[in-house]
Structure 1
Amino acid sequence: MSDADSKAPHLYLIDGSAFIFRAYHALPPMNRADGTPVNAVYGFSNMLFKLLQDLNDNEKPTHLAVIFDAARKNFRNDIYKEYKAHRPPAPEDLVPQFSIIKDAAVAFGVPAIEMEGYEADDLIATYTHQARAKGWNVTIVSSDKDLMQLVDDGTTMFDSMKNKRVGYDGVLEKFGVTPDRVVDVQSLAGDSVDNVPGVPGIGIKTAAQLIQEYGDLDTLLERAHEIKQTKRRENLIEFAEMARISRQLVSLAKDAPVEFDLDHMTLEDPAPEPLMAFLDQQNFRSLKVKVVHHYGVDVGTDPVSDAVSVTETDYECVNDIAALERWIKLAEQTGAVAVDTETTSLNPAMADLVGISLSVEPGKACYIPVAHSQAGGDLLAEKPNQLEKAVVIKALKPMFEDPSVLKIGQNLKYDMSILAREGIQLSPIDDTMLMSYALDAGKHGHGMDELSGIHLDITPVSFKEVAGTGKNQITFDQVPLDKATHYAAEDADITGRLWRILKPRLAEEKVTTVYETLERPLVSVLSAMEREGIKVDVSVLNKLSNEFGVGIERLDKEIQELAGRPFNVNSPKQLGEILFDEQGLKGGKKSSKTGAWQTNVDVLEKLAAEGHEIPKKVMEYRQFSKLKSTYTDSLVQQVSSRTGRVHTSFHMASTTTGRLSSNDPNLQNIPIRTEEGRKIRRAFIADKGNILLAADYSQIELRILAHIADIGALKQAFADGTDIHAMTASEVFGVPIEGMDPMVRRQAKAINFGIIYGISAFGLARQLGISRGDAQGYIDAYFERFPGIRKYMDDTIAFAKEHGYVETLFGRKCHITALTDKNPMKRGFGERAAINAPIQGSAADIIRRAMVRMPDALKDAGLEDVRMLLQVHDELVFEAPEGLAEKAIPVIEETMAKACEPAITLSVPLEVDCGTGQNWQEAH
């Protein structure tokens, strides 16, 4: 659009029929309370509202209308009776939604226009013609190619689903001609969908070439006898009249006798009352919440909307049995209650219960203290007024275990573990953290404070506000009751509000299955694993700590001898000076912030690969230091005084792909590629009379890649049990498997696993210690032999760029925000993440499914005494009585191998390697 047009009125015309069918086919069937189907209504309303939001946030139009088809028959049927004759009738459950959809447009303050005898495209063409005659700009919201004939200097098309505008260049790309010749091309090519005949044997590409050569349809038909291709010439002559009839069919009427005037299409915010009434009638509660956020309208007493709109709070400190029973009764009557616990530690294995909070409606919550030492406020009492813990637990237990009362929490695994130690089995549950994770993984964090800010525009009271910070921080049992009550009750209140917003979105955004099969059922499984913990041999840790300490001292001495003078090896600044100033090593870079030489692991690896001794030994030194500080020294401190075991905490919502992480201790990062790292696993042992069992998926990510990318050679190799790395080496490097050089196999292995992570030639070169040119040659040869992998990568990146996310085999959405970053390096990272996420995420989903099924599988086999302790990447670790291990192995292997079924049938077999031993390393 020219600058002169930028201040002119801007008319948006929405192709309502296209919106309807997109909405209908995108959503599963859903009915309102009276049984009327409304899935298309809901989808249309969301699409219209999103468009209005986006337009308000960007270039707000001055005028807007939604245009609909009135009926299938129109003036074109008089021209050609077969026009659209082959189109099936509208689906039965869509027909009653048409009139409601028009009501939806009106409720949002947008004119809904239709006209007997004319198609929506004709009305759009007429209004476009009228608006352009007035000097207005026009945007047609549609992806319908038939409307491209209307594009001009002041008219563009906008595909709202792809957020893509189409102007002259887009039309030229689609049809090969400018917009004024689109009708001519369509007249020749015809349209099988609308039953427009055209000329046999001529498609869009050929039609465009002919129009480019002859100028227009009439000239082409007059000079058809000049065409050299015999069949094409004969068809153009024989079907010339059909081409002219087709032109009448595809030409849009620009003079339809419309009654609704352009000036009546002025865009204004909708009137709140009719809009709220419409959304209430359809029971579109989550959409109503979004509308409230956008327009700021009063939503009355709708429970979902109240999650956002309620500003007054009523938080009660429960310190007598009558009040406690009243809250329990409220929870039972409501059927759903938000729950939160307050304790003395973030580690559930170390924590003591201090109090419990409940909320049954937005703005109302209570806190039930059981172990506070401070009364708070102006009270003169020496001790706070609170119920005995045993009394509270006894009263709450029936409700907390009642299957008819839903317990809602934020990171409820923690609360479940705390309450389990008090003899309460919390069930059934919903978890707002996991709902958010299923919906928005990769977009943002899923902690309560962050979700509260995003969805409720509320900043909750922080822990440091009530407990202090640093050395002066107190535990929650020391927080005065008045402060504790507001803090704790608010947590339950906000959790309940988040649930009211997030729960409906699961179905709307088609992630209910992800939440209900991969997230929620895993909570109780992980809680049980965390409580079980694993035994650690402190004497082994102490021995290793001493061994690592000796290694650190030896390496420190060797490094300083190589440097030629003493220096602090732990100082990156001093190390950089040694390497680049004094030793004169090449390839160093200085930090733009500090001016010091960079000495991170990438720099040291590169220098070590070039054969330099100091960087090599510094890397060993750092590894020993990390092993000692992170594991051998700290693990001893993390042994529970209650159980004599370490109890890691698993995090379900900390990665984009669905992989679990853990801390206190972090078991995911124990090095396993070095002998020293593997030694750490010796310290994890079975209790007396038991044995550890480790079950590990064999090359699961490569198997998933073979399945997703449909790579026949890889699938066959896995089916035959062939050494996959040797097979790859044979295919890529053209060497026989028999007698293969182990180095060649190692190179193929590096490529196999590197491809999953989108490895670059630079990365592969550094990993293998070869030139970048050789590494690129290996990668090129790999893709040449397995072209399906390159296609998978290209298709996945394209999908991610269009949709903003990728999906696992089980429907988990992994959002990749870096794809739109202005920084090229970050965009490159986003592309690699997009390639990897469906593979790594599918593997994570598979092991989650296995973990969910494992307790019942073991119980059904009479193996209740076999306990699942750890999950580390693709591995599960169990502890079993020595006499049951052999019986447990086939049950565990089968459960893991069949974890995909029946949801997915993989085209490659999943294999599980099992081993046993008195310690974790032996079990491998």
Structure 2
Amino acid sequence: MSDSSFGKGCHLHLIDGSAFIFRAYHALPPLTRKSDGLPIGAVSGFCNMLHRYVEGNTGPDAPTHVAVIFDKGSHTFRNDMYDQYKANRDAMPEDLRPQIPLTRRATEAFNIACKEKEGYEADDIIATLAVQARAAGGRCTIISSDKDLMQLVGDGVEMLDAMKNKRIDREGVFEKFGVYPDRVVDVQALAGDSVDNVPGAPGIGIKTAALLINEYGDLEALLERAEEIKQPKRRQTLIDHAEQIRLSRRLVLLDENTPLDFTLDDLEVRDPLPDQLMPFLAEMEFRTLTKRIADHLDVEMPEIDDTPASAPDAPEIEDVPFDKEGYEMVGDSAALQSRIDRIYELGYVAVDTETTSLDEMRADLVGISLCVEPGSACYIPLTHKAHRGDDLFGSDDLAEGQMALEEALSMLKPVLEDPSILKIGQNMKYDAKIFAQAGIDVAPIDDTMLMSYAMHAGLHGHGMDALAERYLGHTPIPIKPLLGSGKSAITFDKVPLEDAVPYAAEDAEITLRLWQQFKPSLHRAQVTRVYETMERPLVPVLAAMERTGIEVDRDTLSRMSNAFSQKMAGLEDEIYGVAGRKFNVGSPKQLGEILFDEMALEGGKKGKTGAYATGADVLEDLATEHELPRLILDWRQLSKLKSTYTDALQDHINPDTGRVHTSYSIAGASTGRLASTDPNLQNIPIRTEEGRRIREAFVAGEGKTLVALDYSQIELRILAHIADIPALKQAFADGQDIHAMTASEMFDVPMDEMTPDVRRRAKAINFGVIYGISGFGLARNLRIPRSEAQGFIDRYFERFPGIRTYMDDTKAFAKENGYVETLFGRRIHTPNITDKGPRAGFAQRAAINAPIQGTAADVIRRAMIRMPAAIRDLPAKMLLQVHDELLFEVEQGAEDDLITAARDVMENAADPVVKLDVKLTVDAGQGANWAVAH
């Protein structure tokens, strides 16, 4: 009889160490130890995850026993069984290799059991321990999302996906595999696994495998009765590959009897030992984490010697803890003056504003935060309202102890406008516009959001809270508890001063700390030029455009709304005729029933709710062969135009200016393209007549004209240069119709016999190839059968082989380096480029497109930055940027002067950094509204 202490009431946690490591490695940018350059990014992330794990495991569900399980080596008993097992896996990244043993040391430093076994995978150890825990009457939680471990779930064993904080029980396994845990290995044996190179049954995926196993009971019964299967291809596959399938089952089946040299009792939870943990963290030079854990354990932080051996430009990360008790409220001119004096001594200040709205054009200034050194931030409240007990009763009286708004601004204006003082912000465009409303022109600036974007585009978001968590190891004070949510939400001027001061001051301190880290890192990331010439200078240009806005005619929008309603009603009658009865056209559920139940069209798939999927992708596939989905797509487009534009745009007209003021996000898209919000003016569809008509509502002011300048086929020109396609280059040089030329080349149609339909197809292929379009996607676009569309693409590559070479080279570069680059040096990271399955295709298409789309975005950014100086002496203003187009408003009579000046800037925007083989050309138009001008 066992005298083990592990039994009923015990709870074992088994952490998949490899999952933690790879999550940490791919989630964080490269980080090196300052003293010697050792890569430590994955170790840093791993330690943060372990610390959060230890801190978070309290309460009734806390573990009594815990271990982190690792893979010992790449060769296991499965390789002896099948020499191709995991043979297709990419080599471990060079900068990760030296970090693997450090993660073992980190686990031991946290006083957590760290286990591995030669010749076995971590999953086998986890399986053995989970089964032992279950047999002893205890519970086991496997902290991993690895599908191979799902065969263990049930009877006291569950999984936890720590990244999504989602528990996986028997029902969760069924949702993933279509079978319960005891049959998971059978499904995996049939479906195989491309990641681990498990062969399975060719042509059989998870869904089909689940159907077969559910029908026949288990794998062996299925293989024995394979002759009974009606589908000939499936039947033959199972008969021909029976032994391969049985081998696959042995490969995916976990060994629940792995010989271990320890017991469950050895895994008892132990508190971290400061004498063990602190020296390791100090050795790794993790200042922020060391400080945080020292505070948590209530011990003194050890000395950290991170004097660089060969990195004199490594950033100084301040060894000062965040302390919200130390934030100061500035309530009089003497206190503010002492802050201003300190700013002049140092020559820089981090600044942040608090307001009543995210819409800068309608927001009132509530207060200003300043920070010049970590640990010394302040908040200057200006228009906070007084409280009356627990209730405001709608009071407009100001809270006591605040400076007068005019006094504070008059003291700060010289500092904020002083060219010798650097103003640092996080999303500085917002704050600059708030100050501009008060008559203050903030300059010069630095922007931590844009620094992060220049270095880390494609890796993660660039909001302040996310950056603070990632790079400072600090969770900022949340805004939601201060403001509330829904109908009871308040604006910041209603937040009591005692709550507002720490929240607002912390924002400025976080911004300063991020700047201290990011500013010297730009150089090492080789993106200083990108930040200095294309990100930062764009801020004042966009701020001015956004504040100017564009006039929108409300009456035109109302008329269009009515016209769209009538057209939708006409389409509904057509739809009812084709469907054979009336139904709610806007109901996806009813539409699905008509398409797939009543009309019996192929391709119907039900979601969790039991309703058929009827998204655009489904309808576009069906529209290649059926009338009803075509009509539904047309109806949906009109419905979206009406709700998103002709109706919603009326609400966006500013009551004070009578104009619409969109806001541009510089860091929204990883490729460098700007994104437009509130309202989004970049997604107005222009492929349809109705979509183009929306632009009629955007009008010139009295006595003025709208002028649109649009790059002609800029991405195809850049493709011709980057991929070095002589035929395309020559066509552009000769001024040919590029789509007609492509059609002529592909379809052997003489130019003088070109039909609009053939040209349209060539145009779709030209642009589709840039985006890595598949035969599937092209078939949807052209509403033609997929085989025909794939034939077009194959022929395209035959005629222009340089494009295929460019694609292959770009994918290879992305896989090797983890990023791609534009011609101007912008880096777009590609963290998912080595993924397997459907996501791999998406990541590869994005990598192929990014240098082209990103270079085009860089060109137009460079043009926009140079534009204010070029049109300074003209009675004109730049209003909008929509992808490859710039829209201006100019006094009547000066249109030609503007076109000449603006075209010159745009066509030469790449110079002198990049000399394109293909000349950029710009089309110009003008008129009383945007539709005419375009």
Quick check: TM above 0.5? yes
Q: Which amino acid aligns with 1:432?
A: T
2:150 counterpart residue number: none
- Whole-Å Cα distance in 1 between the matches of residues 368 and 278 of structure 2? 44
Q: Deviation per CA, 1:458-494: give whole Å up to 9, x if none.
A: 2212221111111000111111111111111111111
Q: Which amino acid aligns with 1:478?
A: K
- Structure-2 change in CA distance of 1:923 and 1:609 (3 Å): same
Say if 2:831 is the partner of 1:820: no
Q: Secondary structure at the match of 1:870?
A: strand
2:377 counterpart residue number: 365
- Which residue of 549, 556, 562 corresponds with 1:533? 549
**TM superposition shift of 1:504:** 1.1
Q: Is the 8 A contact 2:282 2:290 kept in 1?
A: no
Q: Is the 8 A contact 1:783 1:789 kept in 2?
A: yes
1:743 counterpart residue number: 757
Say if 2:775 is the partner of 1:761: yes
Q: Which amino acid aligns with 2:784?
A: I
2:444 counterpart residue number: 428
Tell me which moved more, 310-319 or 351-360.
Answer: 310-319
Say if 2:725 is the partner of 1:715: no
2:427 counterpart residue number: 411
- Structure-2 change in CA distance of 1:705 and 1:414 (3 Å): same
- Structure-2 change in CA distance of 1:760 and 1:159 (3 Å): closer
Q: Secondary structure at the match of 2:340?
A: helix
1:342 counterpart residue number: 354
- Whole-Å Cα distance in 1 between the matches of residues 280 and 596 of structure 2? 70
2:793 counterpart residue number: 779
2:848 counterpart residue number: 835
**TM superposition shift of 1:341:** 0.7
Q: Which amino acid aligns with 1:895?
A: V
Say if 2:617 is the partner of 1:602: yes
2:648 counterpart residue number: 634
- Structure-2 change in CA distance of 1:158 and 1:543 (3 Å): closer
**TM superposition shift of 1:443:** 0.6
Q: Deviation per CA, 1:530-572: give whole Å up to 9, x if none.
A: 0000000111011111111222233334323433333222211
- Whole-Å Cα distance in 2 between the matches of residues 644 and 56 of structure 1? 52
- Whole-Å Cα distance in 1 between the matches of residues 45 and 580 of structure 2? 63
Q: Deviation per CA, 1:256-283: give whole Å up to 9, x if none.
A: xxxxxxxxxxx9998999998xxxxxxx
**TM superposition shift of 1:50:** 3.7
- Structure-2 change in CA distance of 1:722 and 1:610 (3 Å): same
Q: Which amino acid aligns with 2:855?
A: S
Q: Which amino acid aligns with 2:354?
A: E
- Whole-Å Cα distance in 1 between the matches of residues 834 and 716 of structure 2? 28
Q: Deviation per CA, 1:24-57: give whole Å up to 9, x if none.
A: xxxxxxxxxxxxxxxxxx9997695444665898
- Whole-Å Cα distance in 2 between the matches of residues 291 and 310 of structure 1? 11
- Whole-Å Cα distance in 2 between the matches of residues 379 and 764 of structure 1? 60
Say if 2:892 is the partner of 1:882: yes
- Structure-2 change in CA distance of 1:486 and 1:43 (3 Å): closer
- Whole-Å Cα distance in 2 between the matches of residues 423 and 382 of structure 1? 23
**TM superposition shift of 1:389:** 1.0
- Whole-Å Cα distance in 2 between the matches of residues 638 and 536 of structure 1? 9
- Whole-Å Cα distance in 1 between the matches of residues 538 and 621 of structure 2? 42
Q: Is the 8 A contact 1:51 1:160 kept in 2?
A: no
- Structure-2 change in CA distance of 1:541 and 1:58 (3 Å): closer
Q: Is the 8 A contact 1:653 1:660 kept in 2?
A: yes
Say if 2:813 is the partner of 1:799: yes
Structure 1 unpaired stretches of 5+: 1-41, 60-136, 140-156, 166-266, 277-286
- Structure-2 change in CA distance of 1:297 and 1:670 (3 Å): farther
**TM superposition shift of 1:588:** 2.0
**TM superposition shift of 1:374:** 2.7
Q: Is the 8 A contact 1:537 1:684 kept in 2?
A: yes
**TM superposition shift of 1:666:** 0.2
- Whole-Å Cα distance in 2 between the matches of residues 898 and 495 of structure 1? 36
- Which residue of 492, 508, 515 corresponds with 2:524? 508
TM alignment of 1:498-647, pairs within 5 A: 498-591=514-607, 593-612=608-627, 614-647=628-661
- Whole-Å Cα distance in 2 between the matches of residues 912 and 292 of structure 1? 57
2:310 counterpart residue number: none
Q: Is the 8 A contact 2:382 2:403 kept in 1?
A: yes
Q: Deviation per CA, 1:275-312: give whole Å up to 9, x if none.
A: 98xxxxxxxxxx98899999985459999655465232
Q: Secondary structure at the match of 2:366?
A: strand
2:706 counterpart residue number: 692
Q: Is the 8 A contact 1:369 1:387 kept in 2?
A: yes
1:62 counterpart residue number: none
- Whole-Å Cα distance in 1 between the matches of residues 419 and 730 of structure 2? 48
Q: Deviation per CA, 1:75-105: give whole Å up to 9, x if none.
A: xxxxxxxxxxxxxxxxxxxxxxxxxxxxxxx
- Whole-Å Cα distance in 2 between the matches of residues 785 and 162 of structure 1? 42
- Whole-Å Cα distance in 1 between the matches of residues 637 and 892 of structure 2? 35
Q: Is the 8 A contact 2:288 2:473 kept in 1?
A: no
**TM superposition shift of 1:779:** 1.5
**TM superposition shift of 1:903:** 0.5
TM-score, length of structure 2 as denominator length: 0.68
Say if 2:904 is the partner of 1:891: no
- Structure-2 change in CA distance of 1:802 and 1:710 (3 Å): same
- Which residue of 489, 493, 503 corresponds with 2:509? 493
Q: Secondary structure at the match of 2:733?
A: helix
1:352 counterpart residue number: 364
Q: Which amino acid aligns with 1:870?
A: L
1:870 counterpart residue number: 880
Q: Which amino acid aligns with 1:601?
A: A
Q: Is the 8 A contact 1:376 1:481 kept in 2?
A: no
- Which residue of 852, 857, 860 corresponds with 1:847? 860
Q: Deviation per CA, 1:307-331: give whole Å up to 9, x if none.
A: 4652324211111111111111111
- Whole-Å Cα distance in 1 between the matches of residues 698 and 466 of structure 2? 36
Structure 2 unpaired stretches of 5+: 1-29, 48-71, 75-90, 100-275, 295-300, 308-313
Tell me which moved more, 638-647 or 552-561.
Answer: 552-561
Q: Deviation per CA, 1:239-261: give whole Å up to 9, x if none.
A: xxxxxxxxxxxxxxxxxxxxxxx
Q: Deviation per CA, 1:212-257: give whole Å up to 9, x if none.
A: xxxxxxxxxxxxxxxxxxxxxxxxxxxxxxxxxxxxxxxxxxxxxx
Q: Is the 8 A contact 1:652 1:659 kept in 2?
A: yes
**TM superposition shift of 1:373:** 0.8
1:648 counterpart residue number: 662
1:664 counterpart residue number: 678
Q: Deviation per CA, 1:394-416: give whole Å up to 9, x if none.
A: 00000001111110001000000
Number of aligned positions between the proteins: 673
Q: Secondary structure at the match of 1:836?
A: helix
Could you say what the CA RMSD is over the residues aligned between the two structures, in angstroms?
Answer: 3.2
Say if 2:422 is the partner of 1:390: no
- Whole-Å Cα distance in 1 between the matches of residues 655 and 463 of structure 2? 29
- Structure-2 change in CA distance of 1:801 and 1:556 (3 Å): same
Q: Is the 8 A contact 2:605 2:612 kept in 1?
A: yes
2:913 counterpart residue number: 903
Q: Is the 8 A contact 1:692 1:879 kept in 2?
A: yes
**TM superposition shift of 1:735:** 2.0
Q: Is the 8 A contact 2:315 2:520 kept in 1?
A: no
Q: Which amino acid aligns with 1:497?
A: R
**Greater radius of gyration (CA):** 1
1:311 counterpart residue number: 322
- Whole-Å Cα distance in 1 between the matches of residues 412 and 490 of structure 2? 28
- Whole-Å Cα distance in 2 between the matches of residues 328 and 301 of structure 1? 33
Say if 2:684 is the partner of 1:674: no
- Structure-2 change in CA distance of 1:746 and 1:159 (3 Å): closer
Q: Secondary structure at the match of 2:925?
A: strand
Q: Is the 8 A contact 1:307 1:501 kept in 2?
A: no
